[in-house]
Structure 1
Amino acid sequence: MSEGVFYDTLRQAILTGITMALPILIVALVVGLMVGLFQALTSIQEMTLTFVPKLATIMVVFWLTMGVMTQALVGFFDGQIIPLIQEGF
């Protein structure tokens, strides 16, 4: 395997990972900011108040985007990894 093919495959893997993780990370950030703002406005400093809403929304977003994530991962493997394995690196 040449150096160019290796770095191109690595770049595609990183972009695929970012594409798959971005919806979950954005929702976790938005919910965390909203809960933090709510805690600052009401002076409630309960630890479970930050954890439970984030976990629930992350699970919902993961459930909703699971099909898209699977298609992105399968597309990456079909387009990049499997042809490399068939060529023998």
Structure 2
Amino acid sequence: MNELVELIPSDMLKALKSECGGLQTLLRNNHHIFDVQKGCVQLRFPRTMDEVKKKIKSNRNSDVKMQEKKCWFFINHPQGCPLDR
């Protein structure tokens, strides 16, 4: 995390702090994109819907309701979503 802070210009960190509460808050609010463990930040590998549904335990065989949207990587990453490969 400290290395990440050093890479970001101080004026950008100040703007980030005023907009959303800072870098940690940004990472926490976007936990579907970033994985933070023991001070290390990495991109979270997206899972397929089947993988997600297997992890969710259904109560009395009820249907799992999930919102589906395009992967963040599909829209924002230059190489697109890794699941498309």
Provide the TM-score with structure 1 as the length reference: 0.21
- Could you say which structure has the greater relative contact order, defined with CA pairs below 8 angstroms and 6 or more residues apart? 1
- Rg: which structure is higher? 1
Greater share of helix: 1
